[in-house]
């Protein structure tokens, strides 16, 4: 038995508004409305400041588009186009500080998995550019969170303790909590969410020490034989 840490990608491993701005820009181009970007930026700022309860930046931009009657096909095509340039100058992202070193400290003691609703295009290339792609034991794309995350977590729980880390409680952590896994909330909502979590921080980097301690404790617990009370008393 060994512990598993399940990482979300956008807002958890990949930081920065570059891809969200690219998404808004693609919508703006498709509907021929240069001012849409400004309205999307205002919604994004409202989310980050806590003035509006969007799930994340993508939800903020999508909500503005939907409220203005922009067709769902246009929104979907714009999202796909923004993902195609992920990691480029037009959709720049960066990892939490010290990510590679953090993975080196825990990679031999825990299974590391990626689970994201995003398509795989661009994600692996970004992780490779950071030198961390090879640390993952499994990568799950287009998961369909929240419901689609449950079988991933259930399979991991069959192997031992699980810690699910993400920036959207309803999508990344609620399924884990329902199944009895531990949870870590990061990002803009970590300071204001009232949901019960195992740990939380403004960034994944703020939780490195807690996660390392969780791995150590989980590894020790996993090493204890599953014996009956009679066997333990003899």
- pLDDT tens-place string over residues 170-190: 999 999 999 999 999 999 999
Long-range pairs for 144-151 at CB < 8 Å and ≥24 separation?
A: 144/117, 145/115, 145/117, 145/171, 145/172, 145/175, 146/170, 146/171, 146/172, 146/174, 146/175, 147/175, 148/117, 149/115, 149/175, 149/176, 150/175, 150/178, 150/179
> What confidence tens digit (pLDDT) does each residue in 217-231 have?
998 775 655 543 333
- Residues of the chain with confidence (pLDDT) below 50: 227-234
pLDDT at 231: 36
pLDDT at 229: 34
pLDDT at 227: 40
Conformation bin of residue 8: beta by default, left when phi > 0, alpha when psi is -120 to 50: beta
Q: How far is residue 39's CA from residue 150's CA, in Å, rounded to a whole number? A: 35
pLDDT at 40: 98
């Amino acid at each position: 038995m060994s512990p598993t840490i399940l990482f979300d990608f956008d807002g958890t491993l990949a930081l920065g508004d570059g891809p969200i701005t690219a998404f808004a820009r693609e919508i703006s181009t498709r509907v021929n409305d240069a001012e849409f970007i400004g309205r999307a930026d205002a919604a994004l700022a409202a989310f980050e400041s806590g003035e509006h309860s969007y799930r994340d930046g993508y939800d903020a931009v999508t909500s503005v588009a939907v409220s203005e009657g922009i067709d769902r096909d246009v929104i979907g095509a714009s999202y796909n186009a923004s993902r195609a340039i992920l990691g480029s100058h037009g959709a720049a992202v960066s990892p939490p500080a010290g990510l590679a070193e953090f993975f080196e400290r825990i990679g031999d003691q825990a299974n590391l998995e990626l689970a994201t609703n995003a398509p795989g295009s661009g994600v692996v290339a970004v992780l490779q550019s950071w030198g961390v792609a090879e640390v993952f034991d499994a990568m799950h794309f287009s998961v369909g969170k929240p419901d689609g995350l449950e079988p991933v977590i259930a399979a991991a729980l069959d192997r031992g303790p699980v810690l699910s880390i993400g920036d959207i409680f309803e999508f990344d952590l609620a399924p884990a909590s329902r199944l009895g896994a531990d949870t870590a909330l990061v990002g803009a909502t970590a300071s204001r969410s009232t949901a019960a979590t195992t740990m939380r921080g403004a960034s994944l980097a703020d939780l490195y020490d807690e996660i390392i301690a969780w791995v150590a404790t989980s590894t020790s617990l996993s090493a204890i034989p599953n014996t009956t009370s009679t066997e333990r008393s003899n």
